[in-house]
Amino acid sequence: MLDHPWKTQQLLEDLRNALPAEVHVSKAVRDKLTQRTPGALLPEAARVVEVQYFDDDTGIMCVLDFGPGTMGAVYMYAISYRRA
């Protein structure tokens, strides 16, 4: 789990306790997310409704709720980034 398993677990617990959380999603991220759902309208504001730890390469993922206009798609994005 990333570099420090205990700290990763504590971070996940803290994040889960703060849900749902309102977030600003950059245009670059929204553009990347809509590549798989052309025509979906994703506003700048979203709610993080779930977080999950996938693996050491992917890290922590969050499930984003953009509200209506998303064509029923589920959007997930990494909130952690590791450089090789």
Residue 83: pLDDT above 80?
no
Domain presence at residue 84:
no
Residue 12, C-beta contacts closer than 8 angstroms, at least 6 positions apart: 51, 53, 60
Residue of 3, 9, 7 whose CA lies nearest to 52: 9
Domain presence at residue 62:
yes
- Summarised one tens digit per residue, pLDDT across range 28-72 is 889 888 888 888 889 999 999 999 988 877 888 999 999 887 877
Q: Which two tokens stand for residue 80?
A: 């952690």
> In whole numbers, what is the pLDDT of the chain averaged over residues?
86
pTM for the model stands at: 0.81
> Residue 74 sits in which domain range?
5-78
Residue of 5, 32, 83 whose CA lies nearest to 64: 32
- Residue 82 is predicted with a pLDDT of 46
Domain presence at residue 83:
no
- If one counts the domains in the chain, the total is 1
Domain presence at residue 69:
yes
Residue of 62, 5, 4, 58 whose CA lies nearest to 33: 62
Question: What is the C-alpha to C-alpha distance for residues 78 and 13, in angstroms, rounded to an integer?
Answer: 16
Residue 78: pLDDT above 60?
yes
